[in-house]
Chains A and B, each alone.
Chain A
Amino acid sequence: MALPPPDPQFVLRGTSAAVHTLHFSCGGPEPDIPLLFSGSENGFIHVWNLKTHRVDTALDGHGRKSVYCVETMGSKDRLLSQGRDQRICLWDLAEGRTSVTDSVSTEHVGFCRCSLLKVAQGRWLMAMAARSLEEVQILELPSKTSVCTLKPEVGAKLGMPMCLKLWQLNCGSQPVLLAGYEDGSVVLWSVSMGKVLSQLICHQEPVMSLDFDSEKAKGISGSSEKVLSIWSLNEQQNLQVYKTHELVNAGISDITIRPDKKILATAGWDHRIRIFGWKKLKPLAVLDYHTATVHCVSFSDHSNPQERLLAAGSKDQRISVWSIYAQT
């Protein structure tokens, strides 16, 4: 007899706007408070204290335009946020400061979240959708120099890039970019050469979100249709479809694989969060708490596995935090 799905461990209220992005920063040693960063539609970034479940700080740096991506760069004091004001802001939050140290103007009018990858100590690569409709630009941070621009061939008709993921197999290897496009295809780009390594049509509708497991060379993408597509990367750097999974309701906003690569979570337009096992995509749980479409899901980076959490932000302005499968 299967147990009913668990309730959220707690719910964070107070953003007063739909929540579009979440990012945990809980990896620090003991005196550090575990934090959750959330970006909302009203332009604020809230820094939640996970011990008191209250907002510690509210950052206003995007002119009240929706913030749709937040990431930390190395530590919880360095934050990167991307908003609909066509800017990416770099924050310095050390010692209670709340200032924007730098910003990059993207001139991108879409919703494509940028992707960060640490390549060396203090050096980052960031992939972001650029001004021209089909292009992706790779910048090096903090110098903000352009590494390359990835432009699809003329007539490829991929549409806008919808989601990006920069990764490298291990510290020394060449970084590559996985990009999901509006026409439903996922493209693997080589950053150093600036050209396409492989392209795979995964969906009939735009790819809404994707995530990749570099150890197993397997990735998953979700779209506005009812199908989740799992694809793999073989030795020749070619993408192939591994399997597909049909959902009950159409529409996925976000997919994320837990750092231990055991489970993954999807945020659905049907207000539900679904948990699957990553190995064989076995459906594990359907978390039905929110009353509007769930925009984002994120796993925490706690060093103690028992404390691991899953957070989901929704259009109903609430962030639900769950502790699920934390024992394994």
Chain B
Amino acid sequence: CFIPGGLDCSISFVSHVLGKVCIHGRQKEILGVLVPRLADLTKSDCIWQRICWRLVECVPDRWMEAVVLGFVQRAPGADVLSRLLGNLVVKNKKAQFVVTQKILLLQYGHTTAVLQNLLGYLSLDGLRRTLLLRVLQELLETWSSSSAVKHSPAEQQLYISKAILICLSHLKEPEIESCRQELLTSMMEGMKCHLDSSLPQLRHLGMVVAESISLKINTEGPVLKFEYEEDDETRELKSLLVQTPSYYVVPSLPDDDGSEKAGAALPLVPESNEKSHTAAPVMPDEESDAELDSDDDLIPYDMSEDKELKIKAPVYIRDCIEVLTGSRSEDVDKWEATVKALESLVRKNPAATREVSVELAKILLHLEEKTCIEGFVELRQRAQVAVLTTDPIPVAKYLTSQFYSLNYSLRQRMDILDVLVLAAQELSCPKFHGKTKHSSAQKPCIQLLLGSDSSKDWRRIVDERIKSKTRRFDMGQSRVELASRPNKFSSVAGYFFFPLIQHFDRPLTTFDLLGEDHLVLGRLVHTLAILMYLAVNTVVVTAMGKALLEFVWALRFHTDSYVRQGLLSCISSLLLSVPTEQILADMTEELLETQSWLGDVMEKDPDGDCRRLALQNLLLMENLKKKLEAVP
């Protein structure tokens, strides 16, 4: 539609049209036609490039954002975007704001391709590279701010991490040199905030970004390397650090050497000797068989007694106690055999165990790995669960008192919680015993906690239970009742639950639940939710419910999202376990208050999981109301 050729024409009316269309939300339609055409035309023709630049520059400020956003989203690559927009971001204040601030820091719904386009565009011109550096600094500031880590949604944090990695991939050596110190400082601060978080996803994000920054600033020498499980997200993030050469139009940029593989491995040890080779079995020559074999003259003796050497584990519980507490370093074989055999011994001899249960529980709580046994942590945990289920009341009393005692490590306190949960599970529904073995295995490395895995399991179970409840309401009594079995947990539920909830607000010198140790608080809350759930149909369930409701109320504004998720799970368990009549009789006012709090959480909480759980709870409460109304 344009007529080039020597004429000075004004195209500002076209800009106006473009802007008006975009602001009305029709970016897709108009830019879908315009952008490919312009991309083609501007490929080699400078005049067209200048026309295009004039086009976008003349868009009035009030419509600039829509136009720029549209271009950034539609352009097939950073080089195309560069041809189309030129140095718009440098010349126009509004465009600069949109590109460097709004899209990156205030919005987070855009795809990775958009980020690539935008940041690639900034990196392609010398004038714009200063903006790139500024953008990186601001992104890093956000990334390393502890309040941002605590309060912004996980999706936004992922977006910012991606942006940081893409920026890093575009930086050249001299630029990295100039801001090395700032990169290092931000990396240290950001790493701290991220590792402090209770959500594994955020910790992974922090680790990947910190590793990448460290890779860029330490080109020789040791690089930071965390241990974590690779998943799709981390792999995607790491792939962003490597830029594919096709992005670069200008061949003079020689920085493809900068695209090192993320997670650089140590240089391989060179084969020192060409003659060395690994074991390649050579078939024995056929000729040797034909030789007169004087070995045949040697008659073998009877070797049936030759069996594997097995160290016998003690057969009596008291012997086990002796071995485990004995300090003789000679008998490590016996110690190993005892640890492996303990669980089954405890289960086979309940009477004998009951005599020494508390002592055994104490020994197991303090038991440390003397030799390297596979699965030591799991063996110890299973033994503890066995002891607790054999003699619940005294051992529960002991363990819950130790939870709040001085001088235990966080790991030990969380072990106590895990053991209580597993034992409660086993006592209340023995058929679950087989399914949940996997959730207790932990691997010792920088990542401390897999707790949210077990809470996900529980969420699934709770979800199913909720579904089953709603269905029952809708379809009447058509569901077959499940076979019932006695709930051994009912007589001891109180001993598990109430001591845990008692002292949470009393800080000790080494243990402050409401302060630094919010990780343990999160686990405690999840544990209470599970215990509440398992206490269905027990006598104490109402008392537990009331205490739990008060507990939740006190902590409802906690800043840690893992804790809040736990609190919401507590409410779910409560609504599911406490019989409806009891809820409505004893807890009406508290429930109404809780309902308004849940509504708040559902609308305003930054964490997606919290919002979902709040919604679930509100639905459950609705069901309760309906049930009430359904009763004539």
Residue numbers of A with Cβ under 8 A of B are 2-6, 152-157, 185, 196-202, 229, 232, 238, 240-244, 248-249, 262-263, 270-272, 277-280, 282-286, 288, 325, 328
Contact = CB atoms under 8 A, between A and B. Distances in A.
A5 B288 CA distance: 29
Interface in B284-314: 284, 288, 293-295, 297-303, 305-309
Given A200-B279, A284-B298, A249 B284 contact: no
B269 interface: yes
Contacts of A5: 301-303
Nearest to A153: B272
B301 A199 contact: no
Nearest to B270: A155
A117 B261 CA distance: 54
Nearest to A241: B279
B301 A202 contact: no
A288 B272 contact: no
15 contacts: A3-B302, A153-B273, A156-B272, A156-B273, A196-B273, A199-B275, A277-B295, A283-B300, A284-B298, A284-B301, A285-B301, A286-B306, A288-B306, A328-B297, A328-B298
B515 interface: no
Contact of B294 (A157, A271, A272, A279): A279
Given A5-B302, A155-B269, A240-B280, A279 B275 contact: no
Contacts of B295: 262, 277-280, 282
Given A156-B272, A249-B308, A242 B277 contact: no
B399 to A, nearest CB: 39
Given A241-B281, A242-B282, A283-B303, A263 B276 contact: no
Nearest to A232: B282
A4 B301 contact: yes
Nearest to B300: A284
Contacts of A282: 295, 298, 300
Residue with the greatest number of chain A CB neighbours at <10 A, chosen from B279, B288, B309: B279
Interface of B: 269-270, 272-273, 275-282, 284, 288, 293-295, 297-303, 305-309
A279 B284 CA distance: 11
B294 A244 contact: no
Given A277-B295, A279-B293, A241 B282 contact: yes
Nearest to B302: A2
Contact of B300 (A2, A238, A248): A2
Given A2-B301, A249-B309, A277-B298, A244 B273 contact: no
A285 B273 contact: no
Contacts of A277: 295, 298
Contacts of A155: 269-270, 272
Contacts of A202: 279
A280 B301 contact: no
B281 A286 contact: no
Nearest to A229: B279
B294 to A, nearest CB: 7
B314 to A, nearest CB: 19
A120 to B, nearest CB: 30
Nearest to A197: B275
B478 to A, nearest CB: 61
Given A262-B298, A263-B298, A283-B300, 9 more contacts: A152-B272, A153-B273, A156-B272, A199-B276, A200-B276, A242-B282, A279-B293, A284-B298, A285-B303
Contacts of A283: 300, 303
A209 B105 CA distance: 66
Contacts of B306: 248, 272, 286, 288
A196 B275 contact: yes
Which secondary structure dominates chain B's binding surface? loop
A185 B276 CA distance: 10
A271 B311 CA distance: 13
Contacts of A271: 309
Nearest to A281: B295
Contacts of A3: 299, 301-302
List the 5 closest pairs (A to B, CB-CB), nearest first.
A199-B276, A277-B295, A2-B302, A153-B272, A285-B301
Contact of B279 (A152, A201, A270, A285): A201
Contacts of B272: 152-156
Contacts of B281: 241-244
Contacts of A285: 300-301, 303
Given A155-B270, A282-B295, A248 B284 contact: no
Contacts of B293: 279-280
A328 to B, nearest CB: 6
A325 B303 CA distance: 16
Nearest to A271: B309
Contacts of B305: 286, 288
A243 B298 contact: no
Contact of B269 (A157, A229, A238, A242): A157
Nearest to B303: A286
Contacts of A154: 272
Contact of B284 (A4, A243, A262): A243
Contacts of B275: 196-199, 238
Nearest to A251: B309
Given A155-B272, A286-B303, A325 B298 contact: yes
A328 B296 CA distance: 11
B419 to A, nearest CB: 34
B614 to A, nearest CB: 55
Residue with the greatest number of chain A CB neighbours at <10 A, chosen from B269, B295, B307: B295
B294 A248 contact: no
A59 to B, nearest CB: 29
A150 to B, nearest CB: 13
Nearest to B307: A248
Contacts of B297: 328
Contacts of B273: 153, 156, 196, 199
A88 B223 CA distance: 46
Contacts of B279: 200-202, 229, 241
A32 B275 CA distance: 49
A193 to B, nearest CB: 14
Contacts of A157: 269
A270 B333 CA distance: 13
A2 B299 contact: yes
A251 to B, nearest CB: 10
A241 B277 CA distance: 10
Contacts of A244: 281
B276 A262 contact: no
Given A156-B272, A241-B280, A270 B300 contact: no
A327 to B, nearest CB: 9
Contact of B277 (A200, A263, A270, A280): A200
Nearest to B306: A286
Contact of A248 (B269, B277, B308): B308
A232 B281 CA distance: 11
B561 to A, nearest CB: 46
B298 A270 contact: no
Contacts of B307: 248
Contacts of A4: 301-302
Contacts of B269: 155, 157
A198 B273 CA distance: 8
B154 to A, nearest CB: 44
Nearest to A158: B272
Contacts of A232: 282
B284 to A, nearest CB: 6
